[in-house]
Structure 1
Amino acid sequence: MGAQALVKPIVERAERPRPVAHRLVSVVVPVVERADDLHALYHAFAAELDSCGAAHEFLFVFDGGFTPPPEITELSRERDNVRVLRFARIFGETAALQLGIERSRGDVILTLPAYFQVKPEGLKPMLDRLGGGSDMVVASRSPRQDSWLNRLQSAAFHRMLSGITDRRFHDIACGVRLIRREVAEALPLYGDLHRFIPALALREGYVVEEVPVPQHPQNLRTRVYGPGVYARRLLDIAAFFFLAKFTEKPLRFFGLVGSIFFAAGAVTSIFLLVARLGGEAIANRPLLLLAVLLLALGVQLMGLGLVGEIIVHLRAPHRRAYRVREQV
């Protein structure tokens, strides 16, 4: 018996995501860019959560440029499950989501735009999917009924993201998301990364699912932004690309780019050297200055990559670069 006990295999399983018994859903509504009738928004989604048997609380987080409307202020005084928070100045949507998550009390976080994006009845299939073991459920407006220009912009945005993320999302920009509390608290959010919350969760090893949800009729207007907005979106995608691919290995990025510049400078220098050996004067040629600049820039970029590697190495004992789902 003793020998059998010694050779008996031991099976140990890490904690799996537990099914969500809809105890308390914290609805975080960041009011940052535009807002519809927040009173109607509250009643529509609160009624749907009630019909699903989910206790809920609402947290309206107003950015510095918005003043809470009297109806919402009065609602927060009448009901204990409605709270209003307001920033002292403009901080943006990511900060509003962080504050809402921090001040919420629910086991599940529902992020909701301050305007109607989807129909409230889409919450039930999302809650069911989260209860089935997912870590995050994202609404995907389907079928899209808005203008062709909106769909074209969305398709271009997702096309650029498809080469960065491990899977293709259909509506990652939709602000309606159900997130387990432990997942919401673990995501590294800052800047304008709120647009990439599902991709960040997927990168951290969480189970992320998209659920088709009917688009709301009030979400059909054509949206055209200024050149500055599109430029910032492209910079956000570039920043997410770097974070997703090179956070743990910055030398691969800076070393590659630095090597390209250094190689270009070396080739230019060799060309000038051959010209000088042939008797040509190169002292006053702009190409000489360009060669020196390319060589210096290449060395600086590679040095920056090495500094990044040192920082990652020093942080390594204090950071987990993985997440264990199951151990057998």
Structure 2
Amino acid sequence: MIMTAEGTLMEPTVERSDVAGPADGRLVSVIVPVVERADDLMALYRAFAGELDRRGEEHEFLFVFDGGFAAPPELVALSHERDAVRLFSFARPFGETAALRLGIERSRGDVVVTLPAYFQVQAEGIGPLLDALHAGADLVVANRSPRVDSWLNRFQSGVFQRMLGGVTERRFHDIACGVRVIRRPVAEALPLYGDLHRFIPALALREGYRVDEVAVPQHPNDARTRVYGPATYLRRLLDVAAFFFLAKFTEKPLRFFGLVGSICFVLGALTGLVLLADRLAGQGIANRPLLLLAVLLIALGVQLMGLGLVGEIIVHLRSPHRRAYRVRERV
């Protein structure tokens, strides 16, 4: 195996042998995006590969290194010895979502496992996840239980789950866990870009796939307290807001822009009526700030409604090329 540098995600330069072919039966493809932090990758590989070997699962591991991360020499040597271990390296930081996309594109198995580059759950927990998938689920996400980390970690996770619970059709217990088992067609169908990797189970649920959660023991290495800067929490909030818009209004943009635009227009019109009444009563309104506010609200309302109409036209034009439904089975 050769460490390959990816200039861009859409135009990667790889050896022909790295291009994914058709799914191979029960082959399990484990994708490890090395982003932000990483434990001993060799220890991680031995633990999870050993558990898959114990279960008799044929497997391959794909390590995707974001810009700034270098593969350890032991892992490079292992990739030269075993075709089932492949390494990829981005030319610059592209993020976890891009790493997962590349891993899915280059994997060969009909089962895709996403695994953080650090011990988040015990290795023996991979078995129950695979069993749940084979029992009929389309995607299975690990629920770290019991939690062994600090109360602050659990509090932050709980706030995120509750925020997302108001957006999704159901409330997840641990959607932030990066250990997931996914059927290949589901993994290929998910729209992954930006930071949407955090919402993979919710995205699958939105598309009509069956998503299960399985309790898996948390690894002690995942217990350290995590404190982030204000910018990180703000980005998480914006991510939830973006997902809310994508989940609710992607197919009907006029409902969002039309609603907000109508509110602005009505507020502007009411303000204008108040000013008109004052003017009829003999008061001057030329120098009043409310006049400017009324004009701005009316103009903003018209623009937002127009933007919603443009969005509806775009959805209409692309609708012949995209199915808005998914058939689970023919009875």
TM-score tier, shorter chain, comes to over 0.9
- SS of residue in 1 equivalent to 2:86: strand
Paired letter, 1:116: F
Equivalent runs, 1:29-178 vs 2, <5 Å: 29-178=32-181
Note the residue ranges of structure 1 that are not aligned, 5 or more in a row. Answer: 1-19
- SS of residue in 1 equivalent to 2:30: strand
Q: Deviations over 1:45-100 (max 9, x none)?
A: 00001011101111000001211121211111121111110011111000000000
Q: What TM-score comes out, normalization by structure 2 length?
A: 0.91
Per the alignment, residue 312 of structure 1 pairs with 315
Paired letter, 1:89: R
Contact (CA 8 Å) 2:25, 2:109: kept in 1 or not? no
Paired letter, 2:231: G
Distance 2:82 2:168 in 1: 41
Q: What TM-score comes out, normalization by structure 1 length?
A: 0.92
- SS of residue in 2 equivalent to 1:89: coil
CA RMSD in angstroms comes to 1.3
Of the two, which has the highest radius of gyration?
1
Contact (CA 8 Å) 2:121, 2:144: kept in 1 or not? yes
Distance 1:238 1:163 in 2: 11
Contact (CA 8 Å) 1:22, 1:54: kept in 2 or not? no
Distance 1:187 1:229 in 2: 25
Distance 1:241 1:71 in 2: 43
Is residue 248 of structure 2 the alignment partner of residue 281 of structure 1? no
Q: Deviations over 1:189-245 (max 9, x none)?
A: 111000000010011111110000000000001111111111111111011001111
Note the residue ranges of structure 2 that are not aligned, 5 or more in a row. Answer: 1-22
Equivalent runs, 1:165-314 vs 2, <5 Å: 165-314=168-317
Paired letter, 1:37: D
Distance 1:137 1:52 in 2: 18
Contact (CA 8 Å) 1:22, 1:55: kept in 2 or not? no
- SS of residue in 1 equivalent to 2:142: strand
Distance 1:253 1:144 in 2: 39
- SS of residue in 1 equivalent to 2:130: helix
Count of aligned pairs between the two proteins: 309
Paired letter, 1:268: T
Contact (CA 8 Å) 2:24, 2:108: kept in 1 or not? no
Query: What is the CA-CA distance between 1:21 and the residue it aligns to?
Result: 10
Distance 1:100 1:241 in 2: 26
Question: Which fold has the larger relative contact order, with Cα–Cα distance below 8 Å and residues 6 or more apart in sequence?
Answer: 1
Distance 1:89 1:175 in 2: 22
Distance 1:257 1:154 in 2: 31
Query: What is the CA-CA distance between 1:23 and the residue it aligns to?
Result: 2.0
Paired letter, 1:290: L
- Superposition misfits of 4+ residues, deviation over 3 angstroms: none
